[in-house]
Structure 1
Amino acid sequence: MRAFAPTLLLFLSLTIPTIAYDFDSQKPFNHPSSNNDDRIIEIERYDDEQVWRIDWSGYGEKNKNDIMEMVDLFDLDVWHTTRSNIDIRLNSNQLKILQDIIPPEAFKPFIQDIQSLVDETLFSIQDYDEFDISEDINQIEEEDVDEVEADKGDVISIFKSLKKKKKGKKGKKGGNQRPIPKPEPKPKIDPFNLTTIETPYHDKFHSLKEIYKFGSELIKTFNHSTSINSSSRIIVEEINIGNTYLGEKLKGYTAKINHKRSNSIVRANEDNLQGLELEFIIQAGSHGREWVGPSSALYFLHHLLLRATSEPNSDAAILLKSFRFTIIPQINPDGYAHSRDKSRLWRKNRQDVGGKGNCLGIDLNANWGYKWRSSRSTPCSEGYGGKEAFEAYETKAMSEYLSSAAERGNRVRAFIDLHSYGQLFMFPFAHSCDDFPPDAEMLMEAGLGVAKAMRTKQGQGYEAGQACDLTYRAPGDAIDYTYGVTDVRWSYSAELRDTGTYGFMLPPKLIRPTADEITAGLMYLAKFIYALEVNPP
């Protein structure tokens, strides 16, 4: 393999002005727009972009750092890193430049048509009161397609056209046209009927409004309910931990069984737990484009409540008597809404951070205040971590919630941060492997059990280990802060499905299996902590 670092440094020294011009002129978020739909204005397209996987398994740390410096310098969008690979989103100009720098044998296309995957996820964002997409697509006539003022990839425009036709399309006169038989009406299933885990809610991605409606329905369905043959009541409540830069509430949901447990079952050598309610926190949605995290967080809470109400002696009921479960399904609602409505691959929040071009957004998972350092990337970069720790409204609000646990009479024992993609379950530290957690052995043991539980449930392999070893992470990670500052012993970051076939555009058909397997993993973790700290042998 040819020497990488000297080639890179020489190339950059000779071509920085040209490269900088090319990258700035195309700006990662200024793609050709489609104005055919009045609900989504200037929706961003990715027709000229692919995801390329670079094999850097043979590179030393110096060469890997050189690549990451180049990524920061030119605001490239890194999708995923492992010990052996790095996935990067590239347009044709960026690809040509990198192919002149990185050995060609290390380069291969991984996702060759990003836009088609983006289009597929758009199927899942139709409201429940709209038509059944699959039926209408099957019935669309050839001449109907010609009337749609959009290219083949503009699925939203096709949907709009179909919607208009559905309101009443008269038959054409003349010709021997065979009437299209009307399909048998399907029984309408209320997605907000939460008495069953089979609700179709868990088979689609949802708007913020629908996410919060689901939370409200959880409260209506389960608050003050009792387990069968049990006098203990389940308490489900909504909490508000703060506001986003754009003023959106950061909502969460807490659940517990109102059951007074004796302090005698708390571990005797952990006096600092005496009299405190133990809290298990799950956070999702730090990156706007990672839609499956919020879906999985809500599925987990729904599963927990259903099991506890139907089986009084179930593991779910026992856990709810011992822990308060707090779910923050969407910690980045501004970024998530922007990902749904305008820019599917938007990662950051929507905070005004200035910089050249009036850039927006801070990477929430690079803005936490443990070993944080000023970002080398520009404010327009996908990985921009802000000018200072907790500059982002969302990370500041969440950190204040965590640090005020004692004031609520709580002790946070577990914090799980749900992301995608990569199929990993990781413990601290993320910023550097030189910072080794004293609890590493126990964290690894529990993590391996979680990975096994997930694999057993759906057959998908997950790897467990220290975050710095499994991924190339920046300082300012959430789990580094929770473990290193707020002393949350069981801090983990989960990268959910998949390993790159779909990347962030996981199709709706994989929502439920993904949520089901992480639910199995989180239940294992909660029982592991319970056996070790709440009810030890």
Structure 2
Amino acid sequence: MRAFAPTLTLLLSLLVVPSLASTTDQVPFDVSSNKLAEDKVGVERYDDEKVWRIDWSGLSHEKRKEVMHVVELLDLDVWHTTQRSIDIRLNSRELEVLYGYIPQEAFQPFIDDLQSLVDLSNDAIDPQIPSSETNLSEDGEDEAGDLLKKKKKKGKNRKSKPKPKPKIPSPRIDPYNLTTIDTPFHDKFHPLNEMYKFGDTLISTFNDTHLNGSGIDIRQVDIGRTWENETIRGWSAKIHTPLDQDPGYPTASLSRSGSGRSRAGREEEGLEGVELEFVVIAGQHGREWVGPSSALYFLHHLLLRATEDPKSDSAILLRSFRFTVVPQINPDGYAYSRDKSRMWRKNRQDVGGKGSCLGIDLNANWGYKWQHSKSTACSEGYGGREAFEAYETKAMSEYLAGAGERGNRVRAFVDLHSYGQLFMFPFAHSCDDFPPDAEMLMEAGLGVAKAMRTKQGEGYEAGQACDLTYRAPGDAIDYTYGVTDVRWSYSAELRDTGTYGFMLPPKLIRPTADEITAGLMYLAKFIYALEVNPP
């Protein structure tokens, strides 16, 4: 062990007793009296916990490895990493441990009271879609309550101000009226059953819609089953175009430089005459709620624009690609995050042992350069005992690998996460493994980041995943690029940069979804110009 081992051993012996002493029970480090284990008592609380942003830009590579070794040994909850900083959820005792490795002045709390933010996040959960008697504004607030507050305020200032005309509430839009993108469905986080109802409504609204002789085919895709036997469900859409109909597409504004595929190149690569699939997944980590919401928004936007204008970008892209969206690949973890433990990250799989530790970090369990996890089974980053041990990653990998049996080829894959505002290409596990398509992946990624910034004004950084964040082996985009040969493989970290972290307020769902939709549209058009309609 390294030179810091004696100090670390002493700290562990002082701080982790009896937690690590009871290894046969697999109890996570620092299970305090207000942290309620699993389903036994109730909802987990996070009193005496903060999220700290630690500046480690001045540490050497070896020193960073030491810090991460401590983090793994103590099963600490890392929220986000960059080359400049690392965000970690810590209680007071855990903080004292890290003070032994990083100067105290490098620590800055940016979520000072985690439980208060969790309470606000939980208050935003609607058990079901609001009743039709309530009018909702764009950010999901209760307009009737707003009017009541204003009425009381007017009463207090009656003598000093003229009485204004009463505000007439705008007609409420049915959340499942998908003929408009303004549906209030996109202003709330929803339980799984409502997500699935939304998908069913997409089918009933848009399937078999005729566009100048073409027809939209949108179908439900059941990817597989979770540990708790929940369906992993997605939706797949394509416009079927008669073979003699040339859709055409204005590509003058898109780059065809670099390694664009000519028609001869398409034939050589086996793309000619093959249906190309564009796959978007979200929700690998249960607590990252804005990813699934954004994925549903993207598919809704795509279908809606295509039906509104048969010559739109969306319509042309739907003729050229089959878009498959799996908004929630980790239904078990998501439900547990909503109901029991807001910070829950993993799936809910029994990982063995005599204790009560559950769950595998899905994004450390894909089968490319996978390594046995150094973390304990209780760790938030536990990658399992073998690749594809998790039911969810196994099911999704089989879907991706089975494209040939479906008669198509998965050409693009985007994995939505939060937070950090990044758009990244492979490889994540190590920068020593460099993709041959790096130049084109970077060019497209920079265009995506620009499209997202132009849409909402929020800056996104593009680059190789290993450069922009600290990742473990077993990442989804490493597998799709390195094993299933999906050339355009990306991982997106959506809003924000740390103010709210995983607990993004509902008013920011729509802006976040809107900007990633702009980015995904740009990526699809970029691929179209290079590979579907090359010079």
The answer to whether TM tops 0.5 is yes
Name the CA distance, whole Å, in 2 between partners of 1:430 and 1:378: 22
Deviations along 1:431-470, one digit per CA (max 9) or x if unpaired, are: 0000000000000000000000000000000000000000
Name the CA distance, whole Å, in 1 between partners of 2:143 and 2:116: 20
Show the counterpart of 1:419.
Answer: 417
Show the counterpart of 1:359.
Answer: 357
Show the counterpart of 2:120.
Answer: 120
Structure 2 counterpart of 1:19, from 15, 37, 42: 15
Name the CA distance, whole Å, in 1 between partners of 2:143 and 2:99: 44
Show the counterpart of 1:301.
Answer: 299
Structure 1 stretch displaced more, 214-223 or 89-98: 89-98
Show the counterpart of 1:204.
Answer: 188
Deviations along 1:395-454, one digit per CA (max 9) or x if unpaired, are: 000000011100000100000000000000000000000000000000000000000000
**Aligned residue identity for 1:224:** D
DSSP 3-state at the match of 1:369? coil
- 1:198 shift after superposition: 0.4
The change in CA–CA distance for 1:453 and 1:204 in structure 2 (over 3 A counts) is same
Show the counterpart of 2:156.
Answer: none
- 1:17 shift after superposition: 2.0
DSSP 3-state at the match of 1:273? coil
**Aligned residue identity for 2:198:** F
Deviations along 1:281-333, one digit per CA (max 9) or x if unpaired, are: 00000000000000000000000001100111111000000000000000000
Whether the aligned pair in 1 keeps the contact of 2:51 and 2:110 (CA below 8 Å) is: yes
The change in CA–CA distance for 1:73 and 1:515 in structure 2 (over 3 A counts) is same
**Is it true that 1:283 corresponds to 2:285 in the alignment?**
no
Bigger relative contact order (CA 8 A; separation at least 6): 2
**Aligned residue identity for 2:34:** P
Show the counterpart of 2:469.
Answer: 471
Name the CA distance, whole Å, in 1 between partners of 2:299 and 2:193: 18
**Is it true that 1:267 corresponds to 2:263 in the alignment?**
yes
DSSP 3-state at the match of 1:533? helix
Whether the aligned pair in 2 keeps the contact of 1:295 and 1:515 (CA below 8 Å) is: yes
The change in CA–CA distance for 1:65 and 1:263 in structure 2 (over 3 A counts) is farther
**Aligned residue identity for 1:387:** R
- 1:113 shift after superposition: 1.2
Name the CA distance, whole Å, in 1 between partners of 2:312 and 2:320: 13
* Aligned residue runs from structure 1 range 37-436, under 5 A: 42-126=42-126, 127-129=128-130, 134=142, 187-227=171-211, 230-261=212-243, 267-271=263-267, 272-355=270-353, 357-436=355-434
DSSP 3-state at the match of 2:210? coil
Whether the aligned pair in 2 keeps the contact of 1:31 and 1:45 (CA below 8 Å) is: no
Name the CA distance, whole Å, in 1 between partners of 2:298 and 2:223: 20
Whether the aligned pair in 2 keeps the contact of 1:40 and 1:341 (CA below 8 Å) is: no
**Is it true that 1:32 corresponds to 2:19 in the alignment?**
no
Name the CA distance, whole Å, in 2 between partners of 1:31 and 1:254: 46
The change in CA–CA distance for 1:428 and 1:367 in structure 2 (over 3 A counts) is same
Aligned length: 487
Name the CA distance, whole Å, in 1 between partners of 2:146 and 2:10: 55
The change in CA–CA distance for 1:409 and 1:112 in structure 2 (over 3 A counts) is same
**Is it true that 1:9 corresponds to 2:5 in the alignment?**
yes
The change in CA–CA distance for 1:84 and 1:92 in structure 2 (over 3 A counts) is same
DSSP 3-state at the match of 2:67? helix
**Aligned residue identity for 1:218:** L
- 1:97 shift after superposition: 2.2
Structure 1 stretch displaced more, 289-298 or 118-127: 118-127
The unaligned stretches of length 5 or more in structure 2 are: 21-26, 135-140, 150-165, 249-261
DSSP 3-state at the match of 2:397? helix
Percent identity between the aligned chains?
68
Whether the aligned pair in 2 keeps the contact of 1:355 and 1:380 (CA below 8 Å) is: no
**Aligned residue identity for 2:189:** F
DSSP 3-state at the match of 2:69? helix
DSSP 3-state at the match of 2:513? helix
- 1:110 shift after superposition: 1.6
Whether the aligned pair in 2 keeps the contact of 1:370 and 1:477 (CA below 8 Å) is: yes
Name the CA distance, whole Å, in 2 between partners of 1:533 and 1:427: 19
- 1:140 shift after superposition: 11
**Aligned residue identity for 2:391:** Y
- 1:226 shift after superposition: 2.1
**Aligned residue identity for 1:20:** V
Structure 1 stretch displaced more, 429-438 or 268-277: 268-277
Name the CA distance, whole Å, in 1 between partners of 2:244 and 2:510: 37
Deviations along 1:128-153, one digit per CA (max 9) or x if unpaired, are: 24686857988999xxxxxxxxxxxx
Whether the aligned pair in 1 keeps the contact of 2:28 and 2:379 (CA below 8 Å) is: no
- 1:45 shift after superposition: 1.2
Name the CA distance, whole Å, in 1 between partners of 2:358 and 2:28: 16
Show the counterpart of 1:148.
Answer: none
Name the CA distance, whole Å, in 1 between partners of 2:486 and 2:497: 28
**Is it true that 1:480 corresponds to 2:482 in the alignment?**
no
Show the counterpart of 1:145.
Answer: none
Q: CA RMSD in A?
A: 2.6
DSSP 3-state at the match of 2:336? helix
Structure 1 stretch displaced more, 514-523 or 115-124: 115-124
Name the CA distance, whole Å, in 2 between partners of 1:136 and 1:312: 39
Name the CA distance, whole Å, in 2 between partners of 1:17 and 1:262: 74
The unaligned stretches of length 5 or more in structure 1 are: 142-181
